[in-house]
Amino acid sequence: MHEMSLCEGIRGIVEDQARAHGFDTVRTLRLEIGRFAGVEKDALAFAFDVVMRGSPAEGARLEMIDLPGRAMCYDCMVEVEIEDRLAPCPRCGGGKLMPVAGDEMRIKDMEVV
């Protein structure tokens, strides 16, 4: 379950930011997760609750924001949204696509006190 190690990384960021900005509590943490990031959201939510114990984010609400997968189609030279890495271009039906977005996972923001 790599979601546990992802949450450990998130905890490190939260703790670093708490020290740097002087806050004690995170009420809400919003994560942006790309369609192709390979993150199991239920497992991430469970791991978040476990890993955040004893940190400024203990008891925080986790909000996950889905980001679409995007690719550059080299047949029609347009950036398009795709549902699957192997999907054809929804515009021209071509198969020469290079993913350009959708692998990311990042903290968008935190509500802190």
Known binding residues for Zn(2+) are 73, 76, 89, 92
Alpha-carbon distances of 1 from 10, 17, 40, 54, 110, rounded to whole Å: 15, 26, 9, 21, 24
- Rounded-to-integer distance, Cα 64 and Cα 45, Å: 9
Known binding residues are 2, 73, 76, 89, 92
Complete edge-to-edge strand list for the sheet that includes strand 97-101: 78-82, 69-73, 97-101
Known binding residues for Ni(2+) are 2
CB 63 within 8 A of CB 28: yes
